[in-house]
Amino acid sequence: MNSGPLIRSQVDRLQALWRYRGFVFSMVWREFRGNYLGSLLGSVWSILNPMAMIFIYTVIFSKIMRAKLPGVADTMGYGMFVCSGVITWGFFSDLLGRCPKMFVENATLLKKVNFPRTTLPLIVFFSSALNFLIIFGIFMAFLLLTGRLPGMTILAFVPLLCLQQLFVLGAGVFLGTLNVFFRDVTHIVSIVLQFWFWFTPVVYPLNILPPGARRLVELNPMTRFVTSYQQIVLYNQWPQWSRFGWHMVGALLALGIGFVVFQRLSGEMVDEL
């Protein structure tokens, strides 16, 4: 089988994406500014909102409500535990929740403007990443100011988040393509995310669950990501990289399936929109 044409087509797509990088980043910045258009404080809200969230979890929950984490002596242990889970889960759910709508919401753009359609998933990805980086940066600043910032293990967030979001991007492209033809997909994903959140140890530690429930929750692929983030922040521990082999396979499969389905149906998408 001659793979030359296939490789050349993929190279051409990557080159097209690079040529439209200015378009991608201008759209990301436009969306970010649009979220705060008309407000008195403008983009300052992008800082105030996550600051309020971190304050509630770390001060209100830990100091005032005296919420404790089993086995952790730090008075802010539970707040740090919840923040490290909620913030990273938010990155996951934000991207997965927005992807199904990305082609439908940009129907006019797809019909009237000539540009690589694969830029839309990138725009959604970078827009979600920008929001996450602001929240994550504020959380890291809080840990630094309170003397609780982990050491070099903090760098483990980078490969973990990349692996996590590559899976979401692949799944999101598949769901976004499917949603063009079946508009129920957006609503289904929204409901699934609500159940998925409580099926993931974001606000509760695994060790409080009964053995049967714990084994069930451990089957959830997001469990290993979230518990790894929490171990980094609370215990300054490196993740067990060998336990992420299947996650890597899943991410590559999701990316491959997502973009293959998108490429095969992209010609029909515009007519359907």
Tokens of 246: 């299947």
Band (pLDDT 50/70/90 cuts) for residue 60 is low
* The pLDDT of residue 1 is above 70: no
Asked if residue 175 belongs to a domain, the reply is: yes
SS3 content of the chain, % helix, strand, coil (to 5): 80, 0, 20
Q: CA 169 to CA 178: how far, in whole Å?
A: 14
Q: What are phi and psi of 71, to 5 degrees?
A: 85, 0
Asked if residue 22 belongs to a domain, the reply is: no
Range of the domain at 137: 47-272
Tokens of 135: 């929240």
Q: Which residues contact 200 (CB under 8 A, 6 or more apart)?
A: 85, 89, 217, 220, 222, 223, 226
CB 100 within 8 A of CB 120: no
CB 251 within 8 A of CB 161: no
Quote the pLDDT of residue 94: 92
Asked if residue 53 belongs to a domain, the reply is: yes
Closest CA to 28 of 145, 121, 96, 103: 121
Asked if residue 4 belongs to a domain, the reply is: no
Average pLDDT for residues 20-30, to the nearest whole number? 84
φ/ψ bin of 164: left (φ > 0), alpha (ψ from -120 to 50), beta (otherwise):
alpha
Q: CA 107 to CA 126: how far, in whole Å?
A: 20
* The pLDDT of residue 8 is above 80: no
Asked if residue 26 belongs to a domain, the reply is: no
Whose tokens are 């080159």? That residue is: 15
Average pLDDT for residues 117-129, to the nearest whole number? 90
Prediction pTM value:
0.88
Closest CA to 166 of 73, 259, 45, 103: 259
HSE-up (13 A, CA, CB side) for residue 273: 23
Asked if residue 102 belongs to a domain, the reply is: yes
Q: CA 75 to CA 203: how far, in whole Å?
A: 16
CB 171 within 8 A of CB 189: no
Q: Provide the mean pLDDT of the chain.
A: 84
Band (pLDDT 50/70/90 cuts) for residue 265 is confident
Band (pLDDT 50/70/90 cuts) for residue 21 is confident
Tokens of 68: 């404790």
Q: What does the pLDDT look like over 169-183, one tens digit per residue?
A: 999 999 999 999 988
Asked if residue 38 belongs to a domain, the reply is: no
Percent of the chain with pLDDT over 90: 48
Asked if residue 261 belongs to a domain, the reply is: yes
Most trustworthy range by pLDDT among 23-27, 86-90, 263-267 = 86-90
Quote the pLDDT of residue 44: 66
Number of domains in the chain: 1
